[in-house]
């Protein structure tokens, strides 16, 4: 993996997960693990992103950014595959046509497994919208007990990682399985299972103690940004507190400002508040998605980089007998899909969506219930091999 890439990243790009509640109270920055060794700084991951003195909002107006906010925030249509009325027939037909290009990973399961035969599968999973349904209240995005069992079973046979835009602590709390790898904050905060290592020839790690008193490895590409992110978070909470419906969410190495419950006439105000806070922080970048603005460190890192890092750490990188599979529903998952489609670690991206989307994925699944069936099928297939 080239960690010295010098190409610039756009100031406003992909979308994080969506949540819809009021303001989140700031939690302590102290991690739940006691660090035994210091994390070294990885300055060679820094990107150079030019910022104009006029500020983001002036640039945004010139580029119709608010129009982009509206365009990127449509009301999602929900297709019930079991109860399709005549009024839904056109939508369903469009979806069926879309699956010609992105076939269902369930109906083509045997084809996928024919490629996987004789290979080691490495499994990567998003959380929200993949293992759990998208919900109005982000703190209530619980996975079902059946889904937890499915993930636990698949992890017995394949190295399995959860890669989420949420903080690592949040997603670990939801999943609650210590045998998995966890990558929070879009891959900027990675933790190994107890007893497993995260050895990498270029990037350093931290050895910490988990809640059970066992050693775990942490890899945090953006640790040096935490004090800055902490200040920005507090400022955003204060500056947006009088805007009805806004929510500022702490995802540790990134901050999400949700405007899903804000009246559209006040969206410009939300954007102005965000710009007023971050315009003096050139090492932070602004990204946007479906009714969310997100502030992230300016580093060359994303979910695709996290997948490559984990494969390299596990000794599965550039191996012809390895088949990585990534299942996710979010625009940020596209970075991982692209890595598996175009990179040396050729594998399959599986997009979870009930609506047609352009994607770098090879296959599709409609919703978390189909994801669970796919995970169960993987286990059954593996057990059948003896």
The catalytic residues are 126
Q: Residue 296 belongs to what H/E stretch?
A: strand 292-297
Angle at 150 between CA 350 and CA 165, to 5 degrees: 50
Torsion, Cα 270 273 274 279, to 10 degrees, reads: 150
Q: Is residue 343 classed as helix, strand or coil in its secondary structure?
A: coil
Using alpha carbons, select from 357, 358, 330, 336 the residue that is nearest to residue 348.
Answer: 336
Question: Could you tell me the end-to-end alpha-carbon distance of the chain, in angstroms, rounded to an integer?
Answer: 35
Token readout for 185 is 């904050």
Angle at 331 between CA 186 and CA 351, to 5 degrees: 105
Token readout for 69 is 């906010």
Residue 11: other Cβ atoms inside 10 A: 17
């Amino acid at each position: 993996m080239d960690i010295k890439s010098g190409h610039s990243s756009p100031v406003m790009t992909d979308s994080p997960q969506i949540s819809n509640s009021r303001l989140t109270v700031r939690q302590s920055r102290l991690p739940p693990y006691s660090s035994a060794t210091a994390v070294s700084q990885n300055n060679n991951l820094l990107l150079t992103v030019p910022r104009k003195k006029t500020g983001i909002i002036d640039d945004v107006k010139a580029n119709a950014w608010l129009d982009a906010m509206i365009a990127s925030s449509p009301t999602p249509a929900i297709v019930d595959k079991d109860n399709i009325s005549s009024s839904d027939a056109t939508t369903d037909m469009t979806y069926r046509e879309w699956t010609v290009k992105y076939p269902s990973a369930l109906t083509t399961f045997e084809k996928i497994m024919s490629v996987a035969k004789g290979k080691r599968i490495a499994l990567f999973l998003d959380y929200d919208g993949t293992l759990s349904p998208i919900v109005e209240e982000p703190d209530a995005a619980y996975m079902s007990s059946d889904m937890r069992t499915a993930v636990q079973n698949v992890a017995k046979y394949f190295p399995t990682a959860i890669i989420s835009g949420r903080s690592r602590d949040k997603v670990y709390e939801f999943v609650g399985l210590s045998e998995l790898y966890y990558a929070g904050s879009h891959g900027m905060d990675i933790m190994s299972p107890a007893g497993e290592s995260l050895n990498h020839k270029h990037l350093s790690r931290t050895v910490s103690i988990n809640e059970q008193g066992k050693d775990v490895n942490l890899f945090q590409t953006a640790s040096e940004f935490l004090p800055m992110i902490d200040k920005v978070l507090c400022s955003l909470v204060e500056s947006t507190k009088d805007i009805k419906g806004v929510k500022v969410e702490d995802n540790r190495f990134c901050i999400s400002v949700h405007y899903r419950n804000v009246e559209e006439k006040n969206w410009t105000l939300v954007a102005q508040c965000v710009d007023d806070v971050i315009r003096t922080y050139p090492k932070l970048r602004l990204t946007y998605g479906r009714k969310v603005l997100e502030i992230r460190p300016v580093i060359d890192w994303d979910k695709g980089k996290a997948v490559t890092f984990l494969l390299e750490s596990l000794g599965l990188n550039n191996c012809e007998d390895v088949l990585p599979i990534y299942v996710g529903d979010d625009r940020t998952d596209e970075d991982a899909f692209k890595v598996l489609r175009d990179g040396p670690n050729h594998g399959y991206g599986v997009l979870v969506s009930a609506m047609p989307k352009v994607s770098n994925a090879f296959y599709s699944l409609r919703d978390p219930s189909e994801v669970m069936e796919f995970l169960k099928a993987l286990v059954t297939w593996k057990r059948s091999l003896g």
